[in-house]
Amino acid sequence: MSYLEFLGNYSDRLIDGSLITLLQFVLAALVAVAAAIISGLIKLAQLKPLQAVATVYIEIFRGTSLLVQLYWFFFVLPLLGVSLEKFVAGFLAVGLCYGAYGAELVRGAIQSVPRGQWEAALALNMSPAQRMWRIILPQALVIMLPPWGNLMVEILKGTALVALISVPDLMFEARQINNNTYLSAQAFGTALVIYYIFARFVVTPLMRWLERVMARRIGRA
């Protein structure tokens, strides 16, 4: 079978898988951003009990493997009475895992906004929430966007693991095709190229664009 024939036979499955991968990526990214902001802010706030919860979340998810977390979400949580659809377990595990890494980015970025900005906001008599929301976060966002670009690629790659709980994403389809045809180079090679295109020509340019937009809004571009 020539490679063109291979593509002709299996492009439908590869496209379906790619769409699922993109969907998993978008949902996981949303979960990660939300988890990162919430736990990053909590870690900075002086609320001791909540701080402990955020620390435990961050350390557990950063200290163990994504695959372990995924299996735990999918196989163990139902035993504890929480049944998750495999599709949901997938993006939730990926999102929460990388959200723990993102939390440190959020925290670091907020801390690197110069102290003078807090002080100037206080001198204008702004409330703590106003200071954070209107003065600090917009500046922190510009600081943390570049590392978030890398993290987004990691999230995209991380979604490949959902294939192992049978979510029919690109990784899953490639494996199925391989099992049916033994055309490993074609099946896995094509999937590698598709992931590469997503990472290099979709996710990364999007993040760069976002960086530029935000930098312009802050008057730096």
What's the closest the beta carbon of residue 217 comes to other proteins, in angstroms?
6
| Per-position x/- string for 160-179, each x denoting binding to other proteins as judged by CB under 8 A, each - no binding | xx-xx------x--xx--x-
In the numeric block, the tokens 């919860």 are attached to: 53
Residue 221 burial (10 A CB sphere; 0-12, 13-18, 19+): exposed
What's the closest the beta carbon of residue 53 comes to other proteins, in angstroms?
16
At 148 the three-state DSSP class reads helix
At 1 the three-state DSSP class reads coil
Instruction: Select 3 or 75, whichever has its Cβ closest to other proteins.
Output: 75
Among 138, 166, 206, 209, binds other proteins (CB under 8 A): 138
Residue 200 is a binding residue for other proteins (CB under 8 A): yes
Residue 144 is a binding residue for other proteins (CB under 8 A): no
Cα distances (angstroms) measured from residue 130 to each of 23, 41, 69, 110 = 34, 14, 37, 14
CA angle 80, 83, 87 (to 5 degrees): 140
Query: Which phi and psi angles does 219 have, rounded to 5°?
Result: 80, 20
Q: Binding residues for other proteins, per CB under 8 A?
A: 59-60, 62-69, 71-72, 75-76, 79-81, 114, 116-117, 119-127, 130, 134-135, 138-139, 142, 153, 157-158, 160-161, 163-164, 171, 174-175, 178, 182-185, 188-189, 191-192, 195-196, 199-200, 217-220
